[in-house]
Structure 1
């Protein structure tokens, strides 16, 4: 039958092609919108988790300077955040680790915090679990410069021992540990970052601090204080515990943390346990952040447990 006789005209091949291209464009837009929605939702979930989903990460440090195992809980960079009312969730999870001592490594408040209640209330809760030692971060130092000179006294009154260019010798399970705290650089700004050019006060402190055969743990809020120049080979510190860089703030798959303070982009010493020369350096990604260009992404807040064991 001739189709023209019945008023029917077969579509041309070009019409099929045009219709197919239109369908492909429509489907392409739908796929793009679906993928964009998935990306936005995934990003929102990642940001939420990076501020609210506490995790516990465990590390081991072996040394000949102890005969019995010890457990440290390390917390840093809370930045005024609260996990449960009064940080009860944070304290509860810290207690579950059964620590021998608890190290608070700075930036628990912000430079413009209205008061120190978040930090001191947490200290009060942690003090019931184990002895607490507190090192100052850059935010505590600026907070005090802004007129809150009573902060160190209030930290001590809450139940922690605040250490800034100070150390204490403590005995746990019949063995002595030396715990120190220092925010300053362990090197001088002489163009070569040499330990020999260190500020006189910091240098005097380190020389006295390292004069012992017992295990030496230094709370140094910035890992930058010991990773540049020859500081890690000159100063006899067994284990440096740091935070400050928030694990890179934004953590990318494969590439890792993006931002690293003095270390620049994609820093080497950002999260975990490292050995540099004769020194071990642990860097925590911390519990929060403040005033950063980007929020924490793919970077959950952490309670760190360091198991010190006999080698």
Structure 2
């Protein structure tokens, strides 16, 4: 009898954990240092990734409740805003309209689900009409508090749409440089060139989506178990950091476990030589 009660309690606890990790939104706060960032004030970044057309409360109020706690200089969306099975874009349109209403500097790169969606261009048009800068194998310079920042975006590397050479054309190497790549596999596809970046922001992995305590993620796209890059911060070179956000949405299975839906708030500080 006692064992049944304990087992029932475990199932209930696991169910509550699944619902909380899948449906709530948390903020992962990250701080890094860079010699290249030449401003006394930190560069403040919000990263949003892998939403997969999910909704978090009415009009995504759970996401915006978290966003309103911060005043980022730039918002960077690292792909998979939609799912490849998304049939209409009203939900993502409402999200983008609210986002750009509050944050003027928003950048986007494709994920594999955008690349594989037959109405990719329709989504792009919604983004453009609402002031989002799309960087699929392109680059842009953003002025933050009088300091120039390179923002480079590559089209999805997991589906081989990436062209880093094209994306980095005419980039001024004197500026702090951020690379947006939905899939982190760019770090081994372009190992030599990647060290020229200061910060690489990716998603795609979902952090495994379902994680086991003390073991971690069992399945990560394009990587064998145990994965080399699944979530969090990795130092690739002296002044080159990779950060993988495990994102908001889900794919295949509509649940998360020990891997909560999240956005990331990052601050980049100047590091003295």
Say yes or no: TM over 0.5: yes
Q: In the alignment, is the contact (CA less than 8 A) between 1:246 and 1:285 conserved in 2?
A: yes
Equivalent residue of 2:87, what SS?
coil
Distance 2:71 2:182 in 1: 24
Distance 1:204 1:70 in 2: 26
Q: Give the structure with higher Rg (CA).
A: 1
Instruction: Find the partner of 1:204 among 158, 162, 165.
Output: 165
- 1:128, distance to aligned residue in structure 2 (A): 2.1
Q: Which residue of 1 aligns with 2:141?
A: 169
Judging changes above 3 Å, is the alpha-carbon distance between structure 1 residues 277 and 64 closer, same or farther for their aligned structure 2 residues?
closer
Over residues 32-73 of structure 1, what are the superposed CA-to-partner deviations in whole Å (9 max), with x where a residue is unaligned?
322321221122111101211211111112112221311101
Alignment of 1:138 onto 2:112: yes
Alignment of 1:60 onto 2:20: no
RMSD (CA atoms): 2.1
Equivalent residue of 2:16, what SS?
helix
Distance 2:22 2:236 in 1: 30
Over residues 117-139 of structure 1, what are the superposed CA-to-partner deviations in whole Å (9 max), with x where a residue is unaligned?
22221111111222111111111
Equivalent residue of 2:169, what SS?
helix
Instruction: Find the partner of 2:242 among 257, 281, 286.
Output: 281
Distance 1:159 1:302 in 2: 24
Q: In the alignment, is the contact (CA less than 8 A) between 1:232 and 1:276 conserved in 2?
A: no
Q: Which residue of 2 aligns with 1:262?
A: 222
Distance 1:140 1:296 in 2: 22
Over residues 74-103 of structure 1, what are the superposed CA-to-partner deviations in whole Å (9 max), with x where a residue is unaligned?
111111111121212212311211111111
Equivalent residue of 1:96, what SS?
coil
Distance 2:157 2:124 in 1: 20
* 1:1-311 correspondence to structure 2 within 5 Å: 30-66=1-37, 67=39, 68-130=41-103, 131-143=105-117, 146-185=118-157, 202-208=163-169, 210-226=171-187, 228=188, 231-235=190-194, 236-278=196-238, 279-292=240-253, 295-311=255-271
Distance 1:178 1:271 in 2: 24
Equivalent residue of 1:153, what SS?
helix
Q: In the alignment, is the contact (CA less than 8 A) between 2:107 and 2:135 conserved in 1?
A: yes
Q: In the alignment, is the contact (CA less than 8 A) between 1:166 and 1:181 conserved in 2?
A: yes
Distance 2:168 2:149 in 1: 17
Structure number with greater CO (CA < 8 Å, separation at least 6) is 2
Show structure 1 runs of 5+ residues with no match.
1-29, 189-198
Decide which structure has greater helix share.
1
Equivalent residue of 1:269, what SS?
coil
Distance 1:99 1:148 in 2: 28
Normalising by structure 2, we get a TM-score of 0.90
Please identify runs of 4+ aligned residues in structure 1 that moved more than 6 A.
none
Q: In the alignment, is the contact (CA less than 8 A) between 1:180 and 1:209 conserved in 2?
A: no
Number of residue equivalences: 265
Normalising by structure 1, we get a TM-score of 0.79
- 1:106, distance to aligned residue in structure 2 (A): 0.9
